[in-house]
């Protein structure tokens, strides 16, 4: 796992505007029914990463206006709560992500929410480049932090390791401190407990 210095990794130098996948109408990438865009490229290289192929910035296909139009039309359904940005690393694909974010806000205002996962911590993002801060300012929920295999816990809600947090972005920006999402609802068993139960 790599730990960048502030502003060391820049989207305009690394991103090739590729996406690894698009999954419409899913229930696993945040609250409610969601449309999820998986961008390509992630230099964090966390051990145990569930999406190793998407660490490559040239994996998959180019992001296109046609795909963006498809995502917008899929999001137009009343039962879709919002979109989710994953990867790869969304905050190193800000051109692609901001294009979609701005389109969602233009089409739907705040009636659809926007979630994003990132390997950066909130504290690291506060020291990052203007494009990353702009993207952060326009989303609702952030799941932050590297995946740490030794802290893996299958009972955690919407994240893989206990160091990661589900952050209410807009409340946190106003308070100038991290505010955890009010609907957090983790299970009580740990990964180790589940593993032992399987062995017994």
pLDDT score of 198: 46
Strands 113-117, 141-144: pairing kind: parallel
Q: Nearest 10 degrees: CA dihedral of 12, 18, 24, 29? A: -50
Average pLDDT over residues 131-150: 97
- Residue 177, pLDDT above cutoff 60: yes
Helices (H), the chain: 11-14, 65-75, 94-108, 122-125, 130-137, 169-175, 191-199
Strand, coil or helix: what is 103? helix
pLDDT digits (tens, 9 = 90+) for 149-166: 999 998 999 999 999 999
Is-contact 160 86, C-beta < 8 A?
no
Average pLDDT over residues 117-143: 98
**CA 71-111-41 angle, 5° bins:** 40
**Could you tell me which of 51, 21, 2, 40 has the C-alpha nearest to residue 160?**
51
- 66 assigned to some structural domain: yes
pLDDT score of 71: 98
- 121 assigned to some structural domain: yes
- 1 assigned to some structural domain: no
3-state DSSP of 6-27:
CCCCCHHHHCCCEEEEEEEEEC
Average pLDDT over residues 123-148: 98
- 152 assigned to some structural domain: yes
- Residue 61, pLDDT above cutoff 50: yes
Burial of 197 (C-beta count, 10 Å sphere; 0-12/13-18/19+) = exposed
Range of the domain at 165: 11-199
pLDDT digits (tens, 9 = 90+) for 2-45: 999 999 999 999 999 999 999 999 999 999 999 999 999 999 99
pLDDT tier for residue 193 given thresholds of 50, 70 and 90: very low
- 20 assigned to some structural domain: yes
- 2 assigned to some structural domain: no
Could you tell me which residues are beta bridge partners of residue 37?
22, 85
- 6 assigned to some structural domain: no
Average pLDDT over residues 170-179: 98
Q: How far apart are CA 55 and CA 45, in angstroms?
A: 7
pLDDT tier for residue 188 given thresholds of 50, 70 and 90: low
pLDDT score of 187: 75
Residue that is written with structure tokens 């660490």 in the block: 55
* pTM (predicted TM-score): 0.91
- 96 assigned to some structural domain: yes
**pLDDT, averaged across the chain:** 93
Number of domains composing the chain: 1
Whole-angstrom CA distances from 23 to 28, 29, 37, 98 are 11, 10, 7, 18
pLDDT tier for residue 175 given thresholds of 50, 70 and 90: very high
């Amino acid at each position: 796992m790599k730990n960048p210095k502030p502003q060391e990794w820049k989207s305009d130098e690394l991103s090739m505007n590729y996406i690894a996948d698009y999954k419409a109408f899913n229930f696993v990438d945040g609250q409610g029914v969601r449309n999820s865009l998986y961008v390509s490229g992630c230099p964090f290289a966390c051990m145990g990463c569930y999406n190793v192929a998407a660490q490559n910035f040239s994996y998959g296909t180019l992001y296109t206006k046609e795909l963006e139009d498809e995502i917008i039309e899929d999001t137009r359904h009343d039962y879709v709560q919002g979109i989710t940005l994953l990867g790869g690393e969304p905050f190193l694909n800000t051109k692609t992500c901001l294009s979609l974010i701005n389109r969602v806000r233009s089409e739907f205002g705040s009636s659809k929410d926007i979630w994003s996962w990132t390997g950066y911590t909130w504290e690291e993002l506060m020291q990052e480049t203007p494009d990353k801060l702009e993207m952060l300012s326009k989303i609702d929920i952030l799941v932050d932090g590297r995946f740490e295999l030794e802290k893996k816990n299958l009972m955690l809600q919407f994240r893989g390791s206990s160091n990661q947090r589900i952050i209410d972005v807009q409340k946190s920006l106003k308070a100038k401190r991290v505010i955890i999402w009010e609907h957090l609802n983790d299970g009580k068993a740990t990964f180790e407990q589940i593993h032992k139960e399987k062995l017994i």
